[in-house]
Structure 1
């Protein structure tokens, strides 16, 4: 009952904090804690009433390493597919890299476990501490990114910002088109409700692009029926942070006020929402569907970017985790 009580407390705090601001990743921490304590609590009660379930629980624990190997295989296969379809780049090969790392870590863990030496056991505990921390942080990010993108999505706005994602031969790519179509969905619903909504396609000109992304995006929107007077392109930005900042400048220069919704890809919603909050913008973010094969590397890329943006906090937290595990190791090995 204690575990279920903890789950209820975490759930209540999650609801309160989420109502204050949906865009904070700490909501994900509370959501994961709620699920963790709820699963443990229900399992505990079930084992008391049905002792045979203990066999299932033990079997699930023993199959966990198999699950890691299966996940590694999936990521490696996905990485090879990304390489073939999207080309050789660090971002496109992240799933392949993580899959190989998982295999290497699993092999190292097995070797350390079989070593039987004190040094090997200490190294095993250290590796488990680091891997466990990274795994939990990723679960928090992935879980809340999915929840944020799917639950209570905003459908109306006075300003719809669409984030750029690169052009191909100066034209809108399928990935960028999906973002524009998601923005159009919000804009059309808003105008149908009587709002004089405007759209801000946001994206500058990359070194390999013949024109700014915002210009090509604006052409697409007009071709889809948006009046030219309602399209305010932003053509200076080079990254998501600048997309949001420069789009707000365009909005302010045009004297447009009201609710702001940002349209991007589904894997990008969490980081875009966090950046919007850090800039003091009240904007919420909606995500467009992305090709399935593209999602694993894209989510990993977003995770790396979020961790890098808060690297000092994560470094301190990881140092504390390692210190605690080291203390436990000293006690266990003495």
Structure 2
């Protein structure tokens, strides 16, 4: 019964905060807690029944998951390595494209080191090191699950067709002048929304947001505007914000532009699905009430992109995560000293 109350508390907390503002990292954290305690409550409820068969099934499922966990982790490592190689083949040998490859290799290497530690090496400090490492990995795995849940739920945001502005977030250009497929998908998604609203006799203005990078011959906003004009969007409905160099500036500079044109406005922003949730955090940070809509991304690209987004969000709140990691390490160090002193 206690587990059910705890699950209900976290579900209620998540729903209240989600209704107030969908753009919170804490929403995913509370939803993860809610799902965890709900699963525990259901399992405990089934175990408490008079049916021995149901109790046996629950126990069997638990041990099956426990037995399969090592194979799932190994499979995850192999899958990430494969995805990393695919990214290099299709997107080029750039450091951001190697992320899943590096993480996959790291997972497999840790498995090998753990097996060696259990079977060959016998060191207290090595055991403490692995304990600290797995506690830290467990902490960040929990945050990763929370982030993925937040990102998934936010995909279903459906802003009303009563917007004054549509902000399209820029990305890099091909050959310094042309819109790549990733950015084209954002612009195409913006046009779908534009035409739906225009059909109701209230055409919004599209703000193309993106400055000129070091290897670009024109600003991203300029290339994006030309793309929209070529697709038939009227020039008077396209505004350029060509000074921003990151997502936060996209939001802040676009807000300044909108405030100047119409102080009381409604707006949405468009980006790819993997980037949508983090962009919403920056919109909130910039003081925008905008919610986001997303364009689709090639499936092979998603693991790497989501991992980059997760790391970027971790960096946004790095002071908190450094504190937690430091406490874990200090706790394990103290445990090691006590073990040696009294062992």
Cα shift at 1:147: 1.1
The 3-state SS of whatever aligns with 1:171 is coil
Aligned positions of 1:150-169 closer than 5 A: 150=156, 152-156=157-161, 157-169=163-175
Cα shift at 1:105: 1.7
Aligned counterpart for 2:311 among listed residues 289, 293, 304: 304
Check 1:5–1:324 CA distance in 2 against 1; reply closer, same or farther (3 A cut): farther
Aligned positions of 1:172-191 closer than 5 A: 172-191=179-198
Identify the residue that residue 8 of structure 1 maps to in structure 2. Answer: 8
Deviation readout 1:253-288 (Å, 9 max, x if unpaired)? 333642110100000011111111111111111111
Cα shift at 1:186: 2.0
Contact 1:129 1:325 in 2 (8 A): no
Aligned positions of 1:134-153 closer than 5 A: 134-150=140-156, 152-153=157-158
Distance 1:206 1:111 in 2: 47
Deviation readout 1:10-69 (Å, 9 max, x if unpaired)? 000001111111101000000111111111211222233412221221121121111011
- Range 128-137 or range 116-125, more displaced: 116-125
Identify the residue that residue 275 of structure 1 maps to in structure 2. Answer: 282
TM-score by length of structure 2 reads 0.91
Contact 2:206 2:239 in 1 (8 A): yes
Contact 2:155 2:276 in 1 (8 A): yes
Check 1:323–1:153 CA distance in 2 against 1; reply closer, same or farther (3 A cut): farther
Identify the residue that residue 43 of structure 2 maps to in structure 1. Answer: 43
User: Is the aligned partner of 1:21 residue 2:21?
Assistant: yes
Cα RMSD over matched residues?
2.0
Deviation readout 1:218-247 (Å, 9 max, x if unpaired)? 122223232211110111111111211121
Check 1:324–1:32 CA distance in 2 against 1; reply closer, same or farther (3 A cut): farther
Which ranges in structure 1 are unaligned for 5 or more consecutive residues? none
Identify the residue that residue 76 of structure 2 maps to in structure 1. Answer: 71
Cα shift at 1:118: 2.8
Aligned length: 333
Distance 2:314 2:273 in 1: 19
User: Is the aligned partner of 1:289 residue 2:289?
Assistant: no
TM-score by length of structure 1 reads 0.93
